[in-house]
C-alpha cells in the first residue's frame, strides 16, 4: 500500500512564535524562507502572522493584517502560480500544475510505538529521484494552491483572497473564534484545516469556550469534538476539510503520545489528517532536550514517521533537511 504524504512548511511573520527558525522579518527574509522551503520539497507554505504558543495574545485583526498584507502582495507578484485552484464558482481562476505529493513505501511494523530510539543529530535518510518530486497525484479537493494562511478570522480570509486568490485556510479554532468563517470558506470553495483545540480563546476581550469533546480517553474525546465539528461544517456548507488532532493544544505529553500512537482511530471521518508536532514539547521533554537541540529535530522526524504509519497525510513542519522526506516515508506500508 502506498501512502501519499504532503509537506506543509512553516513561515511566521511575527516575532513571537516559539521556534525562532521559522520567523522572518521583512519581505526579503520572507522571500528567502519561502523559496528555501519550496526548494527543499514543501508542497505548501503555511503563513502565520500571530503566535499560537501557550500564553500568547491575539493582537487583533488590523495588526494581523498589517503583518500579512506586505507578504501576500509578494506572494501575488513573485509566486503567481498560487492563483491556481480550479473552482466552478470562480471561472476566472485557471488551474496550474498541481503541487507534488509524496509517495511512501516499504514497511514499518504496526506494533511500533513510542518511545522510538533516541535520534541522532543527523537523520538516517535516502535520496529521492527528481521524477518522483513532481509527478505524483494531489489530495482530494486540492488542485494546486501552494500557500495556506494560519488564521481564525473571516475578515483576514476575505482580504487575503482579494490579493492572492485561493489558498488553504488553516484554523486552530475549528471555526470557534469567528462564526462567519466556515460559511465564508464554504462560499469561496477553499480547502480548510480544522484543528482540535481545548484551550479557551480570548478574542477582542471575549472568552470563547471550545466545542464539546466526547467522553472517554484522549482519542474518544478528540473524535467527539470532530463529530460535533462535522455537523457544524455541514450546516455551513463546508465539504472540503482536513482534520488536525491539535497536538499540544490542551493536551499533556502523555496524551499527545497516546493520540499519536492511536491516530488511525480518527480515520473514521474519512478525512485527510494533518499533524503538527514539529519541535513541540512531546518531541523533546521526554528526552530532556530543548526545542532548538539538534536531537529534537531527529526525534521530530521519528515521531512524524510513526504518525505516517498510523494514517497521517500531511506533515506541518519547521524544518525540511536534505533527504528529509525519504527518512519520513522509509519503511512504511
Task: Give strand pairing partners of 317.
Answer: 9
Task: Give strand pairing partners of 268.
Answer: none
Distances in whole angstroms, Cα of residue 216 to Cα of each of 199, 208, 223, 224, 261: 18, 23, 10, 9, 16
Instruction: Output the pTM of the full model.
Output: 0.77
Per-residue pLDDT at 253 exceeds 60: yes
Return d(Cα 58, Cα 241) in angstroms, integer.
24
Return d(Cα 128, Cα 295) in angstroms, integer.
23
pLDDT tens for residues 269-297? 999 999 999 888 898 888 899 888 888 88
Per-residue pLDDT at 328 exceeds 80: no
Distance of CA 260 to the CA centre of its chain: 15
Per-residue pLDDT at 13 exceeds 70: yes
Return d(Cα 197, Cα 305) in angstroms, integer.
23
Confidence of residue 53 (pLDDT cuts 50, 70, 90): low
Q: What is the pLDDT of residue 297?
A: 86
Which range, 56-65, 224-233, 282-291, has the best average confidence (pLDDT)? 224-233
Return d(Cα 189, Cα 57) in angstroms, integer.
30
SS3 category, 231 = helix
Q: How many residues does the chain have?
A: 333
Q: Half-sphere exposure (CA, 13 Å, Cβ side) for 299? A: 25
Per-residue pLDDT at 93 exceeds 90: no
pLDDT tens for residues 102-161? 333 233 333 333 333 333 333 332 223 333 323 322 333 333 359 999 999 999 999 999
Residue 315: what are its φ and ψ, rounded to 5°? -120, 115
Number of H helices, E strands in the chain: 10, 11
Q: What is the pLDDT of residue 123?
A: 33
Per-residue pLDDT at 261 exceeds 50: yes
Q: What is the mean pLDDT of residues 62-84?
A: 83
The dihedral sign for the CA sequence 167, 46, 304, 246: negative
Residue pair 21/318 in contact (Cβ under 8 Å)? The answer is: yes
Return d(Cα 92, Cα 272) in angstroms, integer.
28
- Of the candidates 272, 246, 270, which has an alpha carbon nearest to the alpha carbon of residue 260? 246
Q: What is the mean pLDDT of residues 224-243?
A: 96
Number of CB atoms found within 10 A of residue 99's CB: 22
Q: What is the pLDDT of residue 105?
A: 28
Instruction: Read off the C-alpha cell for 270.
Output: 474519512
Domains of the chain in sequence order: 3-329 (3.20.20.20)
- Point out the least confidently predicted range of 45-49, 95-99, 179-183: 95-99
Per-residue pLDDT at 80 exceeds 50: yes
Give 79's contacts (C-beta < 8 A, 6+ positions apart).
34, 146, 147
Amino acid at each position: 500500500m502506498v501512502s501519499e504524504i504532503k509537506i506543509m512548511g512553516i513561515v511566521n511573520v511575527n516575532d513571537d512564535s516559539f521556534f525562532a527558525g521559522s520567523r522572518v522579518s521583512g519581505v526579503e527574509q520572507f522571500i528567502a524562507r519561502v523559496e528555501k522551503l519550496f526548494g527543499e520539497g514543501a508542497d505548501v507554505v503555511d503563513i502565520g502572522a500571530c503566535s499560537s504558543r501557550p500564553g500568547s495574545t491575539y493582537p487583533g485583526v488590523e495588526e494581523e493584517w498589517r503583518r500579512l498584507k506586505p507578504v501576500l502582495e509578494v506572494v501575488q507578484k513573485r509566486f503567481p502560480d498560487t492563483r491556481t485552484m480550479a473552482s466552478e464558482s470562480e471561472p476566472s481562476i485557471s488551474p496550474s500544475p498541481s503541487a507534488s505529493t509524496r509517495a511512501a513505501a516499504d514497511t514499518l511494523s504496526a506494533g511500533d510505538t513510542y518511545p522510538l530510539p533516541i535520534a541522532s543529530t543527523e537523520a538516517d535518510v535516502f535520496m529521492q529521484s527528481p521524477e518522483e518530486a513532481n509527478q505524483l497525484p494531489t489530495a482530494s479537493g486540492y488542485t494546486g494552491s501552494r500557500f495556506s494562511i494560519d488564521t481564525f478570522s473571516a475578515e483576514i480570509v476575505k482580504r487575503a483572497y482579494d490579493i492572492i486568490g485561493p489558498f488553504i485556510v488553516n484554523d486552530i479554532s475549528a471555526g470557534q473564534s469567528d462564526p462567519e468563517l466556515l460559511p465564508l470558506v464554504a462560499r469561496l470553495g477553499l480547502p480548510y484545516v480544522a484543528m482540535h483545540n481545548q484551550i479557551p480563546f480570548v478574542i477582542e476581550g471575549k472568552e470563547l469556550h471550545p466545542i464539546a469533546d466526547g467522553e472517554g480517553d484522549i482519542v474518544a474525546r478528540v473524535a467527539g469534538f470532530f463529530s460535533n465539528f462535522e455537523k457544524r461544517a455541514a450546516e455551513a456548507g463546508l465539504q472540503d476539510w482536513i482534520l488536525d488532532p491539535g497536538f499540544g493544544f490542551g493536551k499533556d505529553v502523555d496524551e499527545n503520545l497516546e493520540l499519536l500512537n492511536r491516530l488511525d482511530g480518527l480515520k473514521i471521518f474519512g478525512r485527510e489528517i494533518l499533524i503538527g508536532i514539529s519541535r513541540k514539547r512531546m518531541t523533546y521533554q521526554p528526552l530532556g532536550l530543548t526545542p532548538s537541540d539538534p536531537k529534537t529535530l531527529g526525534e521530530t522526524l521519528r515521531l512524524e514517521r510513526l504518525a505516517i504509519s498510523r494514517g497521517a497525510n500531511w506533515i506541518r513542519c519547521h524544518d525540511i533537511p536534505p533527504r528529509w522526506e525519504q527518512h519520513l516515508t522509509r519503511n512504511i506500508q
